[in-house]
């Protein structure tokens, strides 16, 4: 009798255990994670991680995401004479150009961020970038005359969009659009959309430090992102770690890409109004749900400087900033709610 009871108890416990395990499995099915190799795209090194119910789905979603980034690069690369963007610049001052919806969208958003940042973000920066590059090669500062000439062909107000016909017209001959401050964010957003459609339930897209992530890691945690210390660029030291999910983080700094003239270093980010290179912020990281926004705003805040930049970020919903000023590179200046993302 006693034996019989014990048997029943064992059977009931075993059944309960199996049911519990099955339910747990159903609720938390095992996930596969695939990490891509480093790939060169958009003039930077890109890496994508996908988490999906199986390895095949994870790999497929990575492939689809890279295809999307390559497609957008082809459309928006100003150094490729065959890109639509180059065509728009080539016909500056002449005629409107019909463009793909994605290019139209990014131009539309770029103008929105120009208005939001009072011109600190401005994709008409192309001729200014080219001038400083030429000056760096010749090791001589730009002349007053060169700067005065460029003044006439910069300014986002000179981009004319027609949303009915999806055309773009640049008002002045010689204008050149440069999407370097926004394209990676836009592409990271699009890549994540494609990954989700391909069945990934978590993912991280890293386009040279332009990060976008969704869902969780394979182990069910948030994605951990390291931000490099601008004053220790040789050692790749991490100054701050962020834990993110369904967020984008963009960093703009003057420590990786810059021009050197007569021993002085000039940032690759310019204030289109003053025609000078940005020199107030060593690095700034913007965290918000949208990659296009974090990318554009990180470039803009770098131009605006600590005070004005931070004041702008505080006004924008769901958007946080961590700024390292040029003056004191050990200081981290944070917007009101930035702390929630920082784990170190």
Q: How far is the CB of 274 from ligand ADP (least distance, A)?
A: 10
The rounded distance, in Å, linking the Cα atoms of 183 and 113 is 13
Q: Is 269 in the site for ligand ADP (CB under 6 A)?
A: yes
Q: How far is the CB of 275 from ligand ADP (least distance, A)?
A: 11
DSSP output for 191-229? HHHHHHHTT-SEEEEEETTEEEEES--TTSPPEEEEEE-
Partner whose footprint covers residue 312, from Mg ion, ligand ADP, none (CB < 5 to 8 Å by kind): none
Alpha-carbon 60 to chain mean position: 23
The rounded distance, in Å, linking the Cα atoms of 76 and 195 is 21
Q: Is 299 in the site for Mg ion (CB under 5 A)?
A: yes
The rounded distance, in Å, linking the Cα atoms of 141 and 136 is 8
Task: Determine contact, residues 63/36, Cβ cutoff 8 Å.
Answer: no
Q: Is 255 in the site for ligand ADP (CB under 6 A)?
A: no
Task: Determine contact, residues 190/248, Cβ cutoff 8 Å.
Answer: no
| Residue 28 to residues 75, 90, 221, 282, 286, Cα–Cα distance (Å) | 40, 54, 13, 43, 32
| Residue 62 to residues 41, 177, 194, 247, Cα–Cα distance (Å) | 14, 30, 9, 18
User: Mask: binding to ligand ADP, 16-55, rule CB under 6 A, as x and -?
Assistant: ----------------------------------------
Nearer to ligand ADP, 184 or 228 (CB): 184
| Residue 63 to residues 35, 46, 69, Cα–Cα distance (Å) | 11, 13, 10
Site for Mg ion in 269-298 (CB under 5 A): 295, 298
Residue 314 half-sphere exposure, CB side, CA atoms within 13 Å?
A: 11
Q: How far is the CB of 27 from ligand ADP (least distance, A)?
A: 39
Q: Is 299 in the site for ligand ADP (CB under 6 A)?
A: yes
Q: How far is the CB of 293 from ligand ADP (least distance, A)?
A: 12
Nearer to Mg ion, 89 or 298 (CB): 298
For residue 168, list its beta bridge partners: 97, 161
Site for ligand ADP in 119-138 (CB under 6 A): 121-123, 125, 129
Count of residues interacting with ligand ADP (CB under 6 A): 21
Site for Mg ion in 163-182 (CB under 5 A): 181
Nearer to Mg ion, 126 or 181 (CB): 181
3-state secondary structure of 303: helix
Interface residue with ligand ADP, options 127, 180, 215, 325 (CB under 6 A): 180
Site for Mg ion in 35-74 (CB under 5 A): none
**Which of 305, 188, 315 has the alpha carbon at shortest distance from 252?**
305
Q: How far is the CB of 116 from ligand ADP (least distance, A)?
A: 12
Nearer to ligand ADP, 200 or 301 (CB): 301
CA angle 36, 40, 43 (to 5 degrees): 140
Interface residue with ligand ADP, options 60, 61, 252, 282 (CB under 6 A): 252
Nearer to ligand ADP, 201 or 306 (CB): 306
Q: Where along the sequence are the contacts to Mg ion (CB under 5 A)?
A: 181, 295, 298-299
Q: Where along the sequence are the contacts to ligand ADP (CB under 6 A)?
A: 121-123, 125, 129, 178, 180-181, 184, 210, 252, 257, 268-270, 272, 295, 298-299, 302-303
């Amino acid at each position: 009798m006693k034996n019989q009871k014990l048997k029943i108890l064992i059977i009931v416990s075993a059944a309960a255990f199996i049911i519990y395990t099955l339910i747990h499995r159903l609720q938390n099915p095992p996930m596969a994670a695939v990490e891509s190799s480093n790939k060169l795209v958009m003039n930077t090194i890109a890496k994508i991680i996908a988490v999906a119910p199986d390895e095949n789905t994870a790999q497929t979603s990575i492939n689809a995401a890279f295809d999307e980034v390559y497609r957008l690069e082809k459309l928006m690369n100003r150094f490729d004479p065959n890109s639509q963007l180059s065509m728009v610049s080539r016909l500056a001052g002449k005629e409107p150009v019909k463009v793909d919806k994605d290019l139209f969208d990014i131009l539309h958003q770029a103008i929105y961020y120009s208005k939001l940042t009072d011109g600190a973000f401005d994709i008409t920066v192309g001729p200014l970038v080219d001038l400083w590059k030429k000056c760096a090669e010749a090791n001589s500062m730009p002349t007053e005359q060169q700067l005065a000439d460029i003044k006439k062909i910069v300014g986002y107000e000179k981009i004319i969009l027609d949303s009915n016909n999806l055309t773009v017209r640049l008002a002045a001959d010689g204008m050149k659009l440069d999407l370097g401050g926004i394209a990676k964010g836009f592409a990271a957003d699009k890549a994540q959309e494609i990954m989700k459609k391909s069945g990934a339930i978590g993912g991280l897209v890293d386009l040279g430090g332009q990060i976008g992530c969704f869902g969780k890691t394979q182990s069910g945690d948030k994605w951990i992102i390291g931000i490099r210390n601008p004053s220790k660029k040789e050692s790749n030291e991490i100054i701050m770690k962020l834990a993110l999910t369904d967020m984008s983080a963009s960093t703009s700094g003057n420590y990786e890409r810059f021009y050197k003239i007569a021993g002085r270093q000039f940032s690759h980010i310019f204030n289109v109004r003053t025609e000078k290179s940005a020199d107030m912020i060593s690095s700034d990281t913007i965290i918000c749900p949208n990659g296009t926004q974090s990318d554009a705003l990180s470039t803009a805040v770098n131009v605006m400087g600590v005070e004005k930049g931070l004041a702008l970020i505080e006004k924008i919903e769901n958007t946080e900033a961590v700024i390292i000023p040029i003056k004191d590179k050990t200081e981290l200046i944070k917007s009101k709610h930035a702390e929630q993302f920082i784990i170190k």
